[in-house]
Amino acid sequence: MSFSLKKLKYWIIDYAHLVKGATVMYLKNTPPKHYLEHTIDGKVPIIIIPGVFERWGFIYPIANYLSFMGHPVYIVPKLGNNIMDIPSSSKKVREIVKENRLRNVIIIAHSKGGLIAKYLLINDNDEKRVKGVVAIATPFSGSSITKFLIHPIITELGIGSKIIKYIDEHKEVNNKIISIFPKYDNHIWHNKGSFLEGALGNIEVSTYGHHKVLNNKMVFIEVEKAINKISIL
Establish how many alpha carbons lie within 13 A of residue 9's alpha carbon, considering only the half-sphere containing its beta carbon.
Answer: 8
Percentage of the chain surpassing pLDDT 90? 93
Domain ranges of the chain: 3-231
* Residue 3 confidence (pLDDT): 60
Supply the pTM of this predicted model.
0.96
Q: What is the DSSP letter of 202?
A: E
Contacts of 44 (CB under 8 A, 6+ apart): 71, 104, 105, 106, 131, 227, 231
Q: Provide φ and ψ at 177, rounded to 5°.
A: -120, 135
Asked if 158 and 144 touch (Cβ cutoff 8 Å), the reply is yes
What are the C-alpha distances in Å from 148 to residues 101, 155, 230? Answer: 41, 9, 36
Which residues is 201 bridged to in the sheet?
178
Strand boundaries in the chain, DSSP class E: 46-49, 73-74, 105-110, 130-136, 177-184, 201-208
The predicted model gives 77-86 an average pLDDT of 96
| Average pLDDT over all residues of the chain | 95
The mean pLDDT value for 62-66 works out to 97
1 has pLDDT over 50: no
Pick the CATH number of 3-231 from 2.60.40.10, 3.40.50.1820, 3.30.70.1230, 3.40.190.10: 3.40.50.1820
Q: 194, 188 in Cβ contact below 8 A?
A: yes
**How far apart, in whole angstroms, are the C-alpha atoms of residue 230 and residue 225?**
9
Q: What average pLDDT does the segment 212-227 reach?
A: 97
The mean per-residue pLDDT over the stretch 105-132 comes to: 97
Q: For 18-32, 129-143, 146-160, 194-208, which range has the lowest pLDDT when averaged over its residues?
A: 146-160
